């Protein structure tokens, strides 16, 4: 008979021995199958982990190689930077030497700016006319060469005249007398040069400077004007005061 438990009756189902044995075998088989499946999955997981470790080792090896290559390139960059600094210093020295040589080649030269051109011009005659205007007698044997520049940056003015004296002392005397004359104009020129123009512009007589020195002089002139300095000088102590149109 069913026994009462807490007010309820516990019902027990009866099974024959064959059924009980069959159910137990079935449950055991399922458990074994699950265990085999878990082992298979575990084996696959282990393989995956091992593969991941291999990949990580490969990555670490690649990183170490890349670090070595990077260090090598960084060292090369340092070497190249040092070489670049050295070459830049040498380049500055060479540029200065070239500029000094170019300026020295102009040591006997002057520029005449604002001198009008005449038809069938004889440049030497024009230069001599400028010399007369500043009370300096220029003879042909004083001049090594003189010519107008082929390129004129300002189309509204005459081309510059470059005059190279044979002797430096003649060039310096020419510049000295130009300072005495001060306001030299086109109408001060005699002969054909003064007749063929109605212009009365200023004529400038300057040291013939290299492009670099001209820029440097322009900056010095700007500094002079901003700081009320009286004059700007070359290395040879030639003053440029207000006789130069540069800047």
Residue 14 has pLDDT above 90, yes or no: no
- Find the mean pLDDT for residues 45-58: 87
Please indicate whether residue 33 or residue 9 has the higher confidence score (pLDDT): 33
Query: What does the mean pLDDT of the chain come to?
Result: 82
Higher pLDDT, 171 or 229: 171
101 pLDDT above the threshold of 90:
yes
Q: Are 239 and 233 in contact (CB under 8 A)?
A: yes
- Given a cut of 80, whether residue 69 has pLDDT beyond it is yes
- pLDDT value at 237 more than 50: no
pLDDT score at 239: 47
pLDDT at 233 over 90: no
For residue 8, the number of C-alpha atoms closer than 13 Å in the C-beta half-sphere is: 3
pLDDT > 90: percent of the chain = 45
How many CA atoms does the CB half-sphere of 12 hold within 13 Å?
A: 8
Model pTM greater than 0.85? no
Could you tell me the pLDDT band of residue 36, with boundaries at 50, 70 and 90? confident
- Which tops the pLDDT comparison, 164 or 27? 164
Q: What is the pLDDT of residue 167?
A: 96
Dihedral sign (CA 170, 176, 180, 181): positive
Q: Residue 98: pLDDT above 50?
A: yes
CA distance 229 to 242: 12
Return the ∠ at Cα 63 (arms to 58 and 65), rounded to 5°: 95
Tens digit of pLDDT for each residue in 175-193? 999 999 888 998 888 766 6
């Amino acid at each position: 008979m069913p026994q009462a438990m807490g007010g309820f009756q516990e019902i027990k189902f009866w099974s024959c021995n064959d059924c009980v044995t069959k159910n137990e075998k079935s449950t055991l088989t399922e458990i074994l199958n699950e265990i085999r499946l878990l082992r298979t999955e575990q084996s696959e997981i282990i393989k995956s982990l091992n593969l991941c470790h291999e990949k990580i080792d490969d990555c670490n090896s690649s990183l170490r190689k890349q670090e070595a290559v990077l260090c090598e390139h960084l060292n090369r960059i340092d070497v190249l930077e040092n070489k670049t600094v050295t070459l830049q210093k040498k380049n500055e020295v060479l540029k200065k030497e070239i500029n000094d040589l170019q300026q020295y080649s102009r040591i006997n030269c002057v520029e005449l700016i604002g001198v009008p051109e005449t038809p069938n011009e004889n440049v030497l005659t024009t230069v001599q006319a400028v010399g007369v205007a500043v009370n300096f007698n220029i003879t042909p044997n004083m001049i090594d060469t003189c010519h107008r520049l082929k390129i004129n940056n300002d189309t509204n003015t005459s081309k510059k005249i470059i005059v190279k004296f044979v002797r430096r002392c003649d060039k310096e005397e020419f510049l000295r007398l130009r300072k005495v004359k001060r306001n030299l104009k086109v109408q001060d020129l005699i002969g054909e040069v003064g007749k063929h123009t109605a212009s009365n512009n200023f004529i400038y007589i300057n040291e013939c400077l290299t492009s670099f020195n001209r820029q440097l002089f322009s900056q010095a002139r700007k500094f002079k004007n901003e700081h009320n300095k009286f004059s700007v000088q070359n290395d040879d102590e030639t003053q440029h005061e207000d006789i130069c149109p540069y800047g």
